[in-house]
Amino acid sequence: MNPDIQRKILEFETFVNDVLKEDLAQLEQKLNVKNADIAEFLELKATITTFKNNGLDKNGFKTQVDIGQNFFIEAQVSDASTILLDIGLGHYLELSIDDAVAVINVRVKLLEQQIKHFRKEIARTNAHIKLILLGIRELQGFDDKM
């Protein structure tokens, strides 16, 4: 086989293995993180709506708080009309429950967009990989129809 072609094939292979597949792994990881985030926000939204529906925000409620290693102590929340929401980078913002729901909605929307973007990226990377593999096959002189 032509040494030039062989060299080219090697380059393509390394590109697929060391660049594209690495990128793919990273993207998947990011996608997972975003999915987890969105799940958390949705859960929070559900909790808040249950608070509202049952009128707990005015009456207060009792709950069990984990103080580490699955040891629970009973806690009482007397005023559930405000909530401190994590707005990123370890900052918490005190919001009324209605505002919190609005913010959560925005965040969920944003996350959805990000997830969409990542999905697209992943698809693109996969396409690149496929394309290069096809190119390699052609270079090696195999028939297209296996």
Site string for other proteins, 16-35 (x = CB under 8 A): xxxx---x------x-----
Q: Which residue(s) pair with 111 in the sheet? A: none
Q: Which residue has the tokens 């973007």?
A: 117
Give Cα 44 to chain centroid, integer Å: 16
Quote the DSSP letter at residue 141. T
Among 54, 113, 119, 127, indicate the residue that binds other proteins (CB under 8 A).
113
Residue 47 C-beta: closest distance to other proteins, Å:
6
**Closest to 86 (Cα-Cα) out of 50, 41, 43, 33:** 41
Tokens (6 digits) for 50 = 């249950």
Site string for other proteins, 53-82 (x = CB under 8 A): ---------xxxx-xxxxxxxxxxxxxx-x
Query: Rule CB under 8 A: is residue 40 a binding residue for other proteins?
Result: yes
**Closest to 37 (Cα-Cα) out of 114, 142, 135:** 114
Nearer to other proteins, 25 or 133 (CB): 133
Q: Which residue has the tokens 């918490």?
A: 92
Q: Give the binding site for other proteins (CB under 8 A).
A: 7, 10-11, 13-19, 23, 30, 40-41, 43-44, 47, 62-65, 67-80, 82-86, 92, 100, 110, 113-114, 117-118, 129-130, 133, 136-137, 140, 142
